[in-house]
Amino acid sequence: MLQLHKIREDKSIIVNALKKRNIDAEPLLSAIIDLDEKRRAIQTELDATLAKSNKLSKEIGVLFKTGKAKEATLLKEQTTDLKEASKQLGELLNTTAAKLQELLYQIPNIPHESVPAGNSDDDNVEIFKEGDIPKLNEDALPHWELAKKYDIIDFELGVKVTGAGFPIYKGKGARLQRALISYFLDKNTEAGYTEVQLPLMVNEASGYGTGQLPDKEGQMYHVQNDDLYLIPTAEVPITNLHRNDIVSQESFPIKYTGYTPCFRREAGSYGAHVRGLNRLHQFDKVELVRIERPENSYQALDEMTEHVKNILRELKLPYRILRLCGGDLGFTAALTFDFEVFSTAQDRWLEISSVSNFEAFQANRLKLRYKDEDGKSQLAHTLNGSSLALPRVLAGILENYQTKEGIKIPEILVPYCGFSIIN
């Protein structure tokens, strides 16, 4: 959420910046400023009314003490009217503040200056590519056919138990999945991230804190009786660990990693491009979250990007990095780098990770602050990244490592799996 004082002070700058997102923010920002002026006027009137009421109350006390009961009674009638006026002004203030908050929630984050203009993922910019694309046999199969051939992932059985988008991993498929999770967590903890185990449901305040609500409400599974949401990513519970906190300067950098299943409705996802593991309603992911001082957040983003690079190098998967354009940038992000692995059998790139800097956008919602050298409260910066999302990493391994003898396991994973080939 953008800070209100910055909207007032830098309205034209924000309007121009949000044009990269193909948004005309002028009407919304003007409405926010007008509503804020109204809120301030109501607050001023309320403060004056309360001050007058308090002054009369003191005068009434003096009059009663000096035996001037009649005069005191007349003043009491005025205080009754003032209390009623204060009540009405208080209710109007709360209503106006709530409307103002609703409007503030509608504004996305301001893109970083390096974000390219663009309308969709077609306008994202490739900034790095690494790894050799393997040459497969002519009869190479996509991962959903390999899963069936070697009986390691059962999509049909998942439909029977739950529905489409809920696969069941079996045998060596389940062990490979577990191996990837352990490997990712080990890499992250070795890099100084603290591992946390997290709830798989969060309350509404947590959803608003990281920006999933109200922006992505339709994509989240909602447990209505308890008003809880199944998490779409571990980013949500991890970042909310510090909601309403003032963290000490000594605690920076704050670095967390966590493995969770993730749940997304993915409404409107159809077609061949979502077959198999390409898009699921439930999937596993290991997440990175960092909380930083503002001046260090972009160095932290670079460090997170290099960290994911190293993991993909060890897995020996061909990958590339994209700088997302304004039209493809997530609502809360200021800058995002997408990692994509090349699926040789599908002959296309598959997104496997996003690494993002949210700057102060989430922290403002979360009221996540720290004290600077002068003792003043400042908003921290938050970042997150997938390290990694398992479905498409697994798809890339199955497809790129397939041979006539079976599916070889990346060397780095063999100690975690306990086997070197699926056949």
The pLDDT tens digits for 346-359 are 999 999 999 999 99
Same domain, 357 and 394: yes
- Tallying the residues shown for the chain, one arrives at 423
Final residue before a domain boundary, out of 56, 79, 105: 105
pLDDT score of 80: 86
Same domain, 88 and 202: no
Q: Is residue 275 part of a domain?
A: yes
pLDDT score of 59: 86
Partners of 353 in the beta sheet? 339
Report d(CA 416, CA 48) in Å as an integer. Answer: 69
Residue 264 is labelled as binding a ligand = yes
Place of tokens 């497809």: 399
- Is 38 strand, coil or helix? helix
Same domain, 139 and 231: yes
Same domain, 68 and 193: no
Residue 40 is labelled as binding a ligand = no
pLDDT score of 267: 62
Report d(CA 410, CA 407) in Å as an integer. Answer: 10
Kindly give the pairing relationship between strand 319-323 and strand 222-223: unpaired
Identify the CA nearest to 324 among candidates 25, 122, 128: 122
Same domain, 190 and 297: yes
- Give the torsion sign (CA, 315, 317, 321, 322): negative
Contact 35, 100 (CB under 8 A): yes
pLDDT score of 215: 81
pLDDT score of 274: 76
Please give the share of the chain, as a percent, with pLDDT higher than 90: 87
pLDDT score of 309: 98
Residue 392 is labelled as binding a ligand = no
Report d(CA 329, CA 43) in Å as an integer. Answer: 37
Is the whole model's pTM more than 0.85, yes or no? yes
Whether the per-residue pLDDT at 273 is higher than 80: the answer is: no
Report d(CA 69, CA 272) in Å as an integer. Answer: 86
Contact 359, 334 (CB under 8 A): yes
Q: Is residue 187 part of a domain?
A: yes
Partners of 383 in the beta sheet? 290, 357
Same domain, 18 and 100: yes
Report d(CA 28, CA 36) in Å as an integer. Answer: 12
Same domain, 97 and 191: no
Q: Which residues contact 244 (CB under 8 A, 6 or more apart)?
A: 366, 367, 368
Q: Is residue 243 part of a domain?
A: yes
Contact 125, 329 (CB under 8 A): no
Residue 120 is labelled as binding a ligand = no
* Residue 11 lies in domain: 4-105
- Is 109 strand, coil or helix? coil
**Residue 414 burial class via C-beta count within 10 angstroms: exposed 0-12, middle 13-18, buried 19 and up:** middle
- CATH at residue 94: 1.10.287.40
DSSP designation for 114: T
Q: Tell me what the pLDDT averaged over the chain comes to.
A: 95
- Does the bond joining 379 to the residue before it have cis omega, within 30 degrees of 0? no
Report d(CA 121, CA 18) in Å as an integer. Answer: 17
Whether the per-residue pLDDT at 124 is higher than 80: the answer is: yes
Contact 306, 186 (CB under 8 A): no
Flag the least confident range among 163-167, 199-203, 263-267.
263-267
pLDDT score of 270: 52
pLDDT score of 268: 54
Confidence band, pLDDT 50/70/90 cuts, at residue 272: low
Same domain, 244 and 328: yes
Contact 396, 413 (CB under 8 A): no
| pLDDT tens string 102-112 | 999 999 999 99
Q: Is residue 113 part of a domain?
A: no
Q: Is residue 55 part of a domain?
A: yes
pLDDT score of 271: 54
Partners of 350 in the beta sheet? 341
| pLDDT tens string 211-259 | 999 988 889 999 999 999 999 999 999 999 999 999 999 999 999 999 9
Identify the CA nearest to 259 among candidates 196, 190, 324: 196
Whether the per-residue pLDDT at 62 is higher than 90: the answer is: no
Whether the per-residue pLDDT at 269 is higher than 70: the answer is: no
Kindly give the pairing relationship between strand 381-389 and strand 201-203: unpaired
pLDDT score of 75: 82
Same domain, 205 and 86: no
Confidence band, pLDDT 50/70/90 cuts, at residue 138: confident
Residue 313 is labelled as binding a ligand = no
Whether the per-residue pLDDT at 25 is higher than 90: the answer is: yes
Count of domains observed in the chain: 2
pLDDT score of 363: 98
| pLDDT tens string 390-417 | 999 999 999 999 999 999 999 999 999 9
Place of tokens 């990693």: 257
For 202-241, give the DSSP string: EEHHHHHHHT-TTTTGGGS-EETTTTEEE-SSTHHHHHGG
Tokens, residue 98: 């709530």
Same domain, 230 and 127: yes
Residue 353 is labelled as binding a ligand = yes
pLDDT score of 68: 79
Residue 352 is labelled as binding a ligand = yes
Same domain, 48 and 126: no
For range 84-101, the mean pLDDT: 97
Which one has a higher pLDDT value, 368 or 268?
Answer: 368
Please give the share of the chain, as a percent, with pLDDT higher than 70: 98
The number of angstroms, rounded, from the C-alpha of 86 to the middle of its chain's C-alpha atoms is: 40
Count CB atoms within 10 A of the CB of residue 336.
Answer: 24
Tokens, residue 372: 């600077």
Place of tokens 């999302």: 389
DSSP-H helix ranges across 211-335: 235-239, 297-315
